[in-house]
Structure 1
Amino acid sequence: MPLFRLPDGRDLEYEVRGPGSGPVVLFHHGMPGSAVPMDTVLGSMTQSGYQVVTYSRAGYGTSSPNAGRTVADTAADCALLLAHLGVAHHRVVGWSAGGPHALASAAVAPEHVEGVLIVASFAPFDADGLDYVDGMGAQNVAQFATAGQGEPAVREIVGQMAAAVRGNTPADVGTSMASLLPPVDLAVLTAGYGADNAATMDHGLSRSDEGWVADLTALTSPWGFDLDDITAPVELWHGALDQMVPVTHGQWLTAHLPTAVAHLTPGDGHLSLAVGSLGEKLRALSARAPRPLPDVPKGRLADGWT
């Protein structure tokens, strides 16, 4: 996959999928994750005519680490990448841990982001009135319990969780992460999505656990922007059966994002909510975009095109 050299000398790994013209979507992956495109997730977007840019957050895959990065720092990296690709206006999609990063994109580059789609997103760790881990499976409760305990504790839990997913089959992952997966999500994991998920996680963790360590630290620290800074339309989706990011996170975000339209679905979990349906969810966002997005200048995305 191509690498973009950032002004400070770090490399940012990225990929582009979809038709050769049309509106651009920046996709913020989950934790762990990478730029490796997942057809079961991206396919509904590219089939709807969107060009989808994926990337690996600092420390994942071949993206250089960036010690102490905040959520807003990642959004700033992405703004530079989109400028490099010649994209003046785009939409952003964030799933799970990608949700806060999608919101950050809208806060950091409001003149470029025309709309935000967040699916099963985390709320801020210090969200007033929210019991952050209530309703989470045991693995995530243990993961977020390391907040404030120092880097060694974070590295220990991330190392344990990375070992449970790195190089394992979807069935093995389903067993090791059982507390996070209601039946509706387990069915998705053991179907086509499981192989896609394994590929993107294995690549993200292929060099080290640095991306995951940095993600967990960034999510449980100040994000580097205020939700009130977001003026673009936000479409928020959350499943009531989610055991990775409980629906209370979506409800809290709904109450604190002035431009959000919420869709809380009773029969979905964390995976079933997103797989195969992001294109349809983007259409709802497109109906609220302030103006049609221009096509990207031809040729500017060619180096990363597949």
Structure 2
Amino acid sequence: MLRENCYFYLKSGRRLGYLACGDPKGKPVLCFHGYPGSRLDFRWLEQAAGNRGLKLIAVDRPGIGLSDPVEPRSLTDFGGDIEELMERLRLKRPVVMGVSGGGPYVLACLSRLEKKIRAGVVVCGLGPMDTEDSAKGMNASNASLFYCARNYPGTVRFILRITKYMMTKKVDTYYRLMGKVLPDSDQKRMGKITQENRQKVLSANREIFRQGSRYLAQEAVLYTKPWEFSMKELRFPIHFWHGYLDKNAPIRSAMRLCRQAPQSVSHWLVGEGHLILNRHADEILDSICSMFGMGTIDREKKVGYYKKR
């Protein structure tokens, strides 16, 4: 089951867009995309999720993809949208997973929705970016973006217009330049833009900028604001997955958050960079299965069968 363009209307009248994939009757996993990104970033997990009996629901944040914008907004405000989505789809205690820039939204949802969420999974998550030393260890591209968002917010939209042009008009050049600032482990996993995957890459990139750069710029600024919650208050299982070589979202922030969370579980990956979901999707999804008490997939048979522990 892969439905890329789902949406419904919130009580406020705003539209909330999402993608659904995997097992239609599977255990629910809410997925939050990175920055910049959209719901389409998760469509490649369709088969892996389906084989494990998981149903993934990837949600566009306000002003991105199919979701209508809202101003002003905060990290925890998104939890209200997610609560309505859970009611609409009748999701009972889902796991919430966020990748990169989606990580802070996982933690914000846990702070707002409390016992309605089973557990949180933060994959190469971005930490708080509200101080000048927040970007320590980060690559120059990301560090510059957040510096501008924090000190010169009016410039961010201009930066994102250039990013949009590169991602939608000069896609080969964009990924070649991206590769130069990534560690070797990430460069090997980026692969090449081929005729077979070019349209999927382009459609995903265009979806990010469907509504232009204005609301993406607002989100960049939002990341630089102090969080409205304390990690010590999040008394839920939270799994942190992070690569030691990550320069997009340095591991030091993830380690600090992990130490502060009372029920955290760490998965620190030696020799890995930012693209750990590409390589470790099986392990991450298996870990999510265990949160539902489902056991692990029998990879020898390569079917959706679960061995009991």
Q: TM-score, normalised by structure 2?
A: 0.84
Q: Matches of 1:282 and 1:115 in 2, distance apart?
A: 13
Where in structure 1 do 4 or more consecutive aligned residues deviate above 4 Å?
191-198, 288-292
For 1:105, the aligned partner's letter is: C
Task: Report the number of matched residues.
Answer: 288
Question: What corresponds to 2:109 in structure 1?
Answer: 105
Instruction: Specify which structure has the bigger relative contact order, considering alpha-carbon pairs within 8 angstroms and separated by 6 or more residues.
Output: 1
Structure 1 gaps of 5+ residues are 293-306
Q: 2:64 aligns with which of 60, 63, 84?
A: 60
Once the two structures are TM-superposed, the CA of residue 276 in structure 1 deviates from its matched residue by: 4.7
SS of the residue aligned with 1:94?
Answer: strand
For 1:68, the aligned partner's letter is: P
Deviates more, 1:276-285 or 1:200-209: 276-285
Q: Matches of 2:119 and 2:57 in 1, distance apart?
A: 15
Q: Matches of 2:170 and 2:215 in 1, distance apart?
A: 19
Once the two structures are TM-superposed, the CA of residue 178 in structure 1 deviates from its matched residue by: 4.0
Q: Is the Cα–Cα contact under 8 Å of residues 79 and 112 in structure 2 kept in the other structure?
A: yes
For 2:219, the aligned partner's letter is: D
Q: Matches of 1:16 and 1:73 in 2, distance apart?
A: 22
Q: Matches of 2:47 and 2:294 in 1, distance apart?
A: 24
Question: What corresponds to 2:136 in structure 1?
Answer: 134
Question: What corresponds to 1:303 in structure 2?
Answer: none
Aligned CA distance change for structure 1 residues 288 and 86 (closer, same or farther; 3 Å) = closer
Aligned CA distance change for structure 1 residues 162 and 46 (closer, same or farther; 3 Å) = same
Q: 2:290 aligns with which of 284, 287, 297?
A: 287
Give a deviation string over 1:85-139, Cα, whole Å, max 9, x none: 1112100111000111111121111121101111111111247xx9321221111
Give a deviation string over 1:258-297, Cα, whole Å, max 9, x none: 21111111111111x11153342233344356999xxxxx
Q: 1:155 aligns with which of 154, 157, 160?
A: 157
Q: 2:280 aligns with which of 256, 259, 277?
A: 277
Deviates more, 1:68-77 or 1:49-58: 68-77
Q: TM-score, normalised by structure 1?
A: 0.85
Structure 2 gaps of 5+ residues are 296-309
Aligned CA distance change for structure 1 residues 23 and 289 (closer, same or farther; 3 Å) = closer
Question: What corresponds to 1:40 in structure 2?
Answer: 44
Aligned CA distance change for structure 1 residues 222 and 166 (closer, same or farther; 3 Å) = farther
Question: What corresponds to 1:165 in structure 2?
Answer: 167
Question: What corresponds to 2:186 in structure 1?
Answer: 185
Aligned CA distance change for structure 1 residues 243 and 51 (closer, same or farther; 3 Å) = same
Aligned CA distance change for structure 1 residues 255 and 151 (closer, same or farther; 3 Å) = same
Question: Which one has the bigger helix percentage?
Answer: 2
Aligned CA distance change for structure 1 residues 51 and 288 (closer, same or farther; 3 Å) = closer
Q: Does 2:229 align with 1:205?
A: no
